[in-house]
Amino acid sequence: MNRSLAFTVAATAALGLGLLPGAAFGQQKSLRDQLVGAWTLVSADVTPAGGAKRQDFGANPKGILIFDAGGKYALVQGSPNRPKFKDTNNLRTGATGEEFAAAARSFAANFGTWSVDEGDKILVRNYEIALIPNNDGVETKTSVTMTGDELKLSATAANGARAEAVYRRAK
């Protein structure tokens, strides 16, 4: 094989390898970069200390978690089987206190800013506004596990309750 042909083959191989996805030969993306995007809720479980696991949003919850590259996030999740309000005007102001309380018990929403502790694989969220007003301005820390397009967030509260939510990358 002459030098010119050998050089052409080597250059073509190098170019081909350079075009492969970064994860194949390059360094893996940071956890922060992997989180950016939209995620759909698959499951959400809470296990109280010494208690049985429960699904506050039902067996087939609906929800979305969005992380933007600029450090903002939004989360909305709930049960698709929440009871309807009797008032057919579809205004929350027309709901009775009992109706509104029942709807709120199987719904969660918050938004704010986010960052990641790459070393410990911890998601840090600072709630700007949350469904529960006591959480406005609160910082939360959640363990992150990622496997392919699946994201698992796990946290243990001060009272010992363990919360775990599983998401899939939105398509």
| Cα–Cα dist 65/38, whole Å | 6
- Predicted confidence (pLDDT) per residue in 117-132, tens digit: 999 999 999 999 999 9
Domain boundaries, position 5: 1-28
- Predicted confidence (pLDDT) per residue in 56-114, tens digit: 999 999 999 999 999 999 999 999 999 888 887 777 788 899 998 999 999 999 999 99
Residue 8 has a pLDDT of 41
Does 99 share its domain with 130?
yes
Please answer whether residues 155 and 140 qualify as being in contact, where contact means their C-beta atoms are separated by less than 8 angstroms.
Answer: yes
The CATH number assigned to the domain holding 100 equals 2.40.128.280
| Cα–Cα dist 163/85, whole Å | 29
Residue 11 has a pLDDT of 40
Using alpha carbons only, how large is the chain's radius of gyration in Å?
A: 22
Does 20 share its domain with 72?
no
Number of domains the chain contains: 2
Residue 1 Cα distances to 10, 25, 84, angstroms = 12, 28, 77
* Model confidence, pTM: 0.81
